[in-house]
Amino acid sequence: MILQLSWVNDVRQTDLHIAEPLVPAPIAFEIEMTIEELKRHKPSGNDQIPAEMIKAGGRTIHSEIHKLTNSIWNKEKLPKKWK
């Protein structure tokens, strides 16, 4: 007599899916806190925008940086001009 276990077949036919953990897009508060942490009087980076200017931009600049960050986050792609 041959004993066949039905669950063995089920296990073989099951696809294994490994998902990346879901990390939410940065919220506006996180962007603002990051901007606040920028150090003043340091040489600007590749973009040539001094930290003082970003900090002085207030809510308008913070909001635009947040929109840009979320766009990049959702598309998972940097703008072509940045490459």
Residue in the structure block whose two tokens are 């308008």: 60
**Angstrom distance (rounded) from CA 83 to CA 68:** 16
User: Quick one: pLDDT at residue 8?
Assistant: 52
User: Quick one: pLDDT at residue 83?
Assistant: 73
Residue in the structure block whose two tokens are 């899916």: 17
Question: pLDDT of 11-44, one tens digit each?
Answer: 555 566 666 668 889 999 999 999 999 998 888 8
User: Quick one: pLDDT at residue 73?
Assistant: 92
Query: Whole-prediction pTM value?
Result: 0.67
Question: pLDDT of 47-75, one tens digit each?
Answer: 888 999 999 999 999 999 999 999 999 99
Residue 75 parent element (H or E):
helix 58-75
Q: Where are the domains of the chain?
A: 24-78
